[in-house]
Structure 1
Amino acid sequence: MQKVTCSVEALEEMAEALWYVRLKPELSVDFLPGQYLLVVMADDDKRPFSIANTVNEEGVLELHIGAGPDNTYAMQVLKRMQEQGQIEVQLPAGKAHLRSDSRHPVILMAGGTGFAYTRSILQQMLADGLHQPVFLYWGVRFEDNLYADQEMKTWAAEHKELTYVPVVQNGDEHWQGHTGLVHEAIMEDFPSLAGYDIYVAGRFEMAGVAREAFKEKGVEADHLFGDAFEFI
């Protein structure tokens, strides 16, 4: 992996305890859609964050970081970025990147800021031209956590092959969409998952439950991708 120092070009709160970060590496970097980087806090302390965009002419890296007062793991990273204006990262990391040569229909499943992972993959697929149906399911606890909702609605309106399905676990009386857990919404909407490429990002517990549930719906193991599966 390449180690590079990045200047912090933007650090903005998108929603409560959700931060957008834009980094500018001092050297050009390369990665595949869906890969992640490691923020180097120390030689023995490297913290993973999904890259939310694809390789671009500007050479920037975008991150979506969930960080509240009770999440010191992420807050320490943001604090260093704020105080120093730069951060050292290693990349690329992760095996659950886009399989761009596949023509299977695709399901992208994200929990919370795992959306960053699915956004990188989707952004590349849109740039290449959608050659198959793509379904993006984004699960959050509250509607306010859908920080990129308008962007996703715009993309879905512009591309007939793309279906965007937000899922709110704790929807209020005004919420009209899916409620509950995001993997359960997928289970309800698809009689079978055979023949689909499925990409998963979110908490390890969520990924583990989804993997077992999707097996019951016929997903092939070599068509189910998620970096969490390397650890659980």
Structure 2
Amino acid sequence: MQKVSCNVEELHEMADTLWYVRLKPEQVVDFNPGQYLLVVMADDDKRPFSIANKPLENGEVELHIGASPDNTYALQVLRRMQEQGKIDIQLAAGKAYLRDSRHPVILMAGGTGFAYTRSILQQMLADGLHKPVFIYWGVRQEEHLYAHEELNAWAAEHKELTYVPVVQNGSEHWQGKTGLLHDAIMEDFPSLNGYDIYVAGRFEMAGVAREAFKEKGVDPERLFGDAYEFI
């Protein structure tokens, strides 16, 4: 993998405990939509984060980092970025990148796993949507839907795109789907055969989804997620 130093061009909190980071690598970098990078904290300490944008000509890389007070793993990365204004990364990693396919697509994102699906979706929009694409984004509270307006705008602009937010603990004002993310997909699709499905989120969620989707006839060769390299 390529190792490169980056300047931290932008860092701000998008929502409670959710941070946006924009990095400018000091040399040209290359990755496929849906791949991730490793933040190099030390030679024996490299921390993975999904890339949240499609490959850009200016080489910039965006990250969406969830960092609650009990998540020192991510907070230490943010603190170094804030204090030094620079960070070393390695890329690109991951085999669950966007495939060239005619199959309709389901993008399934839990929490900040949305970053992974955003990279894929951005590339698909840039290439032109010629098939149905469904993005399901699950969060615990609706305030964590930090890209809700962006996704609604994209869905309004592209008739092939359907955006379905799912809030696990919806308030009395929430009008959308509630409950578990994979259940929402199971309810909406009589069959998952013939779909390309990209999954990002906690390993537990990815594992449960894989087993559940078998009941709907998913083709294991068309189910993509970096979690499946480890579980």
TM over 0.5: yes
What does 1:125-164 align with in structure 2 at a 5 Å threshold? 125-164=124-163
Deviations 1:178-224 (A, max 9, x none): 00011100000001000000000000000000000001110000000
1:215 aligns with 2:214: yes
The equivalent residue for 2:173 is 174
* Equivalent AA in structure 1 for residue 186 of structure 2: M
Deviations 1:81-103 (A, max 9, x none): 0011000000000000000x201
The equivalent residue for 1:206 is 205
What CA distance in whole angstroms lies between the structure 2 residues aligned with 1:127 and 1:107?
17
The equivalent residue for 1:185 is 184
What CA distance in whole angstroms lies between the structure 2 residues aligned with 1:132 and 1:46?
37
What does 1:17-96 align with in structure 2 at a 5 Å threshold? 17-96=17-96
- Give, in angstroms, the shift of residue 55 of structure 1: 1.0
1:11 aligns with 2:7: no
* RMSD of Structure 2 on Structure 1 (CA): 0.4
Secondary structure at 1:14 match in 2 = strand
Secondary structure at 1:164 match in 2 = strand
Percent pairwise identity: 81
* Equivalent AA in structure 2 for residue 136 of structure 1: I
- Give, in angstroms, the shift of residue 58 of structure 1: 2.0
Paired residues in the alignment total 231
What CA distance in whole angstroms lies between the structure 1 residues aligned with 2:55 and 2:104?
23
What CA distance in whole angstroms lies between the structure 1 residues aligned with 2:214 and 2:34?
22
Structure 1 residue ranges without an equivalent (≥5): none
- Give, in angstroms, the shift of residue 158 of structure 1: 0.3
Secondary structure at 1:24 match in 2 = strand
* Equivalent AA in structure 1 for residue 157 of structure 2: E
What CA distance in whole angstroms lies between the structure 2 residues aligned with 1:33 and 1:194?
23
* Equivalent AA in structure 2 for residue 223 of structure 1: R
What CA distance in whole angstroms lies between the structure 2 residues aligned with 1:175 and 1:103?
35
Return the TM-score normalized by structure 1: 0.99
What CA distance in whole angstroms lies between the structure 2 residues aligned with 1:7 and 1:144?
29
Which aligned segments of 4 or more residues in structure 1 are displaced greater than 4 angstroms? Answer: none
Return the TM-score normalized by structure 2: 0.99
What CA distance in whole angstroms lies between the structure 1 residues aligned with 2:186 and 2:165?
14
What CA distance in whole angstroms lies between the structure 1 residues aligned with 2:54 and 2:142?
26
- Give, in angstroms, the shift of residue 131 of structure 1: 1.6
